[in-house]
C-alpha cells in the first residue's frame, strides 16, 4: 500500500480525465478539431513559454536529459525499422510512432503530478525537443519531399524562441502579464487529456496484430534504453527519462500518417494498443522512478 498509493495519486487524475473524454465521446458526437487546433496553436505554446519565463533554471541546463531522450528516439526508430522490415510492414508507418511518443497528452500531466512544478521545466525540455524532432525528422520520414522550413510555421517554435529570449536576456515579466499567460497555458494539460479520451473513442482499429506488436515494442524498447541512460542523470531527471521511455505512441502520428498517406490504419492500431499497454508500463516506469536509487 505504501508503494501503490503514490502511484495511484499520480496516475488516477490522468486516467479519470481520459475516461471522462472517452465516455462523453461514446455517448454524444463531439468534434474536438477546434479545441485541438486551439491547444496546438495557442495553449500549449503558452504553457511552454510560461514554464520557461517563470523559472530561474535555463532550458539548456537540461541538455544531458535532452541528449538521452534523443538517443531513445533514434534507438527506438532503429529497432522498429528492423522489426518492420522483417515483418513486411510499412517501415515509416511502423517506425515513426515508436520514435515519437505521447509527451503532450500523457507525458506532461504525468511528469507534473509525479515530480512537481520544481522539475516541470525538465519535462518541458523533452516536450519541446520531441515536438522539434517530430515536425522535422518525423515528417521527413513520412515524406522525404516535405520542406523543413514548414517547422517555422509551428507556434511552438516561436514560443520556444520567445522563452529563450526571456531567459538569456534575464527579462522579468510583470505578474499582471505572466499570470494570464500561465492561466491559459494551464488549460492545455486537462484539455490534452480530455481530447485523448475523445480520440480513443473515435478510433476504428482494423490492424490489431501489428498494433499489438508495435504497442508493446514501444515501451519495452524505450525503457530498455532509458534504464542505463538514467544512471548518468540527476535523480529527478532520471525519473523524467524513465517515464519518457514508457510513453505510448502519440496521436499526432496518426494525423501525419493520414496527411502523407503512410498506412494510417497501422499507425492508429499502434496508438490504441500502445495507450492500452501504457496502463501497465507507465506505472512500472513510475515505480522505478520513485523507488530505485536513481529515482526522485
Tens digit of pLDDT for each residue in 26-42? 999 899 888 888 988 89
What is the value of pTM for the model shown? 0.85
Q: What pLDDT, on a 0 to 100 scale, did the predictor assign at position 3? A: 57
Q: What percent of the chain has pLDDT over 70?
A: 95
296 located within any domain: no
Alpha-carbon span 169 to 105, nearest angstrom: 31
Q: What pLDDT, on a 0 to 100 scale, did the predictor assign at position 296? A: 46
Neighbours of 228 (CB within 10 A): 9
Report which of residues 7 and 242 the model is more confident about.
Answer: 242
The lowest-confidence range among 4-8, 231-235, 246-250, 257-261 is 4-8
254 located within any domain: yes
Q: What pLDDT, on a 0 to 100 scale, did the predictor assign at position 224? A: 97
DSSP labels for 255-291? HHHHHHTS-HHHHHHHHHHHHHHHHHHHHHHHHHHHH
Q: What pLDDT, on a 0 to 100 scale, did the predictor assign at position 1? A: 43
279 located within any domain: yes
**Distance from the Cα of residue 178 to its chain's centroid:** 25
Q: What pLDDT, on a 0 to 100 scale, did the predictor assign at position 55? A: 58
Average of per-residue pLDDT values in the chain: 88
The lowest-confidence range among 62-76, 146-160, 198-212, 217-231 is 146-160
Are the C-beta atoms of residues 4 and 149 closer than 8 Å to each other? no
276 located within any domain: yes
114 located within any domain: yes
Tens digit of pLDDT for each residue in 101-116? 999 888 988 998 888 8
Q: What pLDDT, on a 0 to 100 scale, did the predictor assign at position 233? A: 92
216 located within any domain: yes
Run of H or E including 62? none
15 located within any domain: yes
CATH code at position 45? 1.20.1530.20
Quick check: 23 pLDDT over 80?
A: yes
189 located within any domain: yes
Give start and end residues of each alpha helix (H) in the chain: 4-27, 33-38, 44-53, 63-87, 91-99, 108-115, 120-133, 139-142, 155-168, 175-202, 208-230, 235-246, 252-260, 264-291
- Domain total of the chain: 1
Per the structure, the complete domain to which residue 21 belongs is given by 4-291
Amino acid at each position: 500500500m505504501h508503494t501503490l498509493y503514490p502511484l495511484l495519486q499520480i496516475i488516477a487524475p490522468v486516467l479519470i480525465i481520459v475516461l471522462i473524454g472517452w465516455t462523453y465521446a461514446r455517448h454524444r458526437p463531439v468534434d474536438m478539431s477546434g479545441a485541438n487546433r486551439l491547444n496546438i496553436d495557442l495553449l500549449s505554446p503558452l504553457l511552454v513559454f510560461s514554464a520557461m519565463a517563470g523559472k530561474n533554471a535555463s532550458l539548456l541546463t537540461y541538455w544531458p536529459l535532452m541528449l538521452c531522450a534523443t538517443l531513445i528516439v533514434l534507438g527506438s526508430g532503429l529497432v522498429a525499422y528492423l522489426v518492420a522490415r522483417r515483418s513486411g510492414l510499412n517501415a515509416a508507418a511502423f517506425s515513426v510512432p515508436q520514435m515519437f511518443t505521447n509527451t503532450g497528452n500523457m507525458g506532461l500531466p504525468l511528469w507534473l503530478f509525479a515530480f512537481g512544478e520544481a522539475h516541470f521545466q525538465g519535462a518541458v525540455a523533452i516536450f519541446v525537443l520531441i515536438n522539434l524532432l517530430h515536425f522535422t525528422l518525423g515528417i521527413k520520414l513520412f515524406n522525404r519531399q516535405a520542406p523543413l522550413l514548414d517547422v517555422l510555421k509551428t507556434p511552438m517554435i516561436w514560443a520556444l524562441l520567445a522563452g529563450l529570449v526571456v531567459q538569456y536576456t534575464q527579462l522579468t515579466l510583470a505578474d499582471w502579464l505572466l499570470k494570464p499567460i500561465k492561466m491559459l497555458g494551464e488549460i492545455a494539460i486537462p484539455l490534452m487529456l480530455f481530447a485523448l479520451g475523445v480520440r480513443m473513442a473515435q478510433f476504428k482499429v482494423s490492424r490489431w496484430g501489428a498494433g499489438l506488436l508495435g504497442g508493446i515494442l514501444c515501451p519495452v524498447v524505450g525503457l530498455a534504453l532509458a534504464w542505463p541512460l538514467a544512471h548518468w542523470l540527476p535523480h529527478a531527471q532520471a525519473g523524467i527519462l524513465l517515464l519518457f521511455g514508457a510513453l505510448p505512441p502519440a496521436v499526432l502520428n496518426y494525423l501525419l500518417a493520414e496527411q502523407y498517406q503512410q498506412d494510417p490504419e497501422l499507425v492508429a492500431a499502434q496508438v490504441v494498443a500502445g495507450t492500452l499497454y501504457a496502463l501497465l508500463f507507465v506505472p512500472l516506469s513510475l515505480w522505478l522512478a520513485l523507488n530505485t536509487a536513481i529515482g526522485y
